Amino acid sequence: MRTDLVVGEADAGQRIDVALAAITGITRSQVRRWIEAGCVRVNGRASRASLRVALGDRVEMETSDPLPSDVQAEDIPVSVLYEDDDLVVVDKPAGLVVHPAPGHESGTLVNALLHHCRDLAGIGGVRRPGIVHRLDRGTSGVLVVAKCDAAHTGLAEQFRDHSIERIYRALVRGVPTADSGRIDLPIGRHRTDRKRMSVHTSRARESHTRWSVLSRFPAKAAGRPGNSWLEIHPETGRTHQIRVHLASAGLPIVGDPVYGRPTGAHTRAADAALSLDRPALHAAVLGFVHPTRGEEMRFEAELPPDLAGALETLAEATGVRGAAH
């Protein structure tokens, strides 16, 4: 059986054997055997297990048996912003994992979409059908999913070329004096914790993030950090990029348990007052060219209640009004 895949943001930069194991749900050892047998080609050329794939790479697998899939359709509510025969745009809530992975085999956005879109199975991968990009579990906002191979290929190419418009909003700890800034620090896997990313690693990839201040909430008491409401424009799409870059700039995202854990009693108390149980990061805008019709499309997700409530709490505490949602 032949399987054609296009490498999405989630797998770009990975070894081909690691990426295919994640996409298909097949063991890495089996994938390596297929590669060694010449069953896997990348952009038309036979691959080796150590090859690192790039966003938009085309992967072909010729196997004797169909790829098994244990991803089940589940009747999980999903907020659809737009849908046609080629793609669906959703407003992902915080807390929803995008695709099955170890520890999250069900209850994901993919499970929900397999129920919503009956013809989605197999588009772009067995374990991640239709997925071209992803949002972290704790991040809310706009996400596009392909419903056919042509849409998957076209969207992957736009992500690869960085022609997608992506605007995020984040509530951070700290009050910068500058109105805007740019962070140009390479990102790679943490040297000792493989679940984390870092700007201090030997195998890092070029990464760029722009930010600007929408509102400032200065601290009213000594020892408290104050907060800022930022607009974020990621120019590349590395794993945890916004969270890592803002933390490296001394502006960690409120509620981030990995890169923004508060230190000191005053800071912990200030964070607790905002009642956030996830990183205060929202994918507000997604713009792209329709991959089959050529039309420019732009979607915006409203700010969810938890983030709107945190901004209102800060406005009442500091007397700063007019925070741009």
Please give the pLDDT value at position 36: 84
Of 13-27, 78-92, 126-140, highest mean pLDDT: 78-92
pLDDT, tens only, 166-213: 999 999 999 999 999 999 999 988 888 877 899 988 778 899 999 999
Q: What is the mean pLDDT of residues 211-223?
A: 86
Q: Reply yes or no on whether the pLDDT at 324 is more than 60.
A: no
Told to judge if 65 belongs to the known catalytic residues of this protein, a careful annotator would answer no
Mean pLDDT of the chain: 88
The answer to whether the CB of 271 falls within 8 A of the CB of 224 is no
Give the Å distances, CA to CA, from 276 to 113, 163, 218, 311.
27, 32, 19, 11
Classify strands 58-62 and 204-205 as parallel, antiparallel or unpaired. unpaired
Please give the pLDDT value at position 136: 94
**Six token digits for residue 212:** 């600007």
Residue tagged 């990348």 (tokens): 42
pLDDT band at 123 (very low <50, low <70, confident <90, very high): low
Classify strands 197-198 and 187-189 as parallel, antiparallel or unpaired. antiparallel
Q: Which CATH superfamily is domain 2-62 in?
A: RNA-binding S4 domain (3.10.290.10)
**Six token digits for residue 58:** 């085309």
CATH hierarchy code of domain 165-318: 3.30.2350.10
Predicted model pTM: 0.82
Let me know the angle formed at the C-alpha of 207 by 225 and 139, rounded to the nearest 5 degrees: 55
Which secondary structure element, helix H or strand E, spans residue 149, and what is its range?
Answer: helix 149-160
Q: Is there a shared CATH topology between the 2-62 domain and the 79-160 domain?
A: no
Bridge partners of 231?
169, 212
pLDDT, tens only, 15-73: 999 888 877 777 788 788 888 888 899 998 989 988 999 888 888 888 765 555 567 88
Q: What is the mean pLDDT of residues 261-272?
A: 82
Give the Å distances, CA to CA, from 255 to 114, 156, 179, 214, 271.
31, 31, 23, 19, 7
Which residues 6+ apart lie within 8 Å of 286 measured at CB?
89, 141, 142, 143, 144, 164, 165, 166, 298, 299
CATH hierarchy code of domain 79-160: 3.30.2350.10
Q: What is the dihedral of CA 21, 60, 164, 168, to 10 degrees?
A: -10
Task: Kindly list the domain boundaries of the chain, sorted by start residue.
Answer: 2-62, 79-160, 165-318
Residue tagged active-site, from 57, 91, 136, 256: 136
Residue 34 CA to residue 124 CA, distance in Å, equals 19
Q: Mean pLDDT lowest for which of 123-137, 159-173, 254-268?
A: 123-137
The answer to whether the CB of 145 falls within 8 A of the CB of 116 is no
Which secondary structure element, helix H or strand E, spans residue 23, and what is its range?
Answer: helix 16-24
Residue tagged 């046609």 (tokens): 84
Residue 165 CA to residue 299 CA, distance in Å, equals 10
Please give the pLDDT value at position 149: 82
Residue tagged 């005053």 (tokens): 266
Q: What are residue 247's phi and psi, to 5 degrees?
A: -60, -40
Q: What are residue 172's phi and psi, to 5 degrees?
A: -120, 165
Please give the pLDDT value at position 83: 96
Please give the pLDDT value at position 21: 82
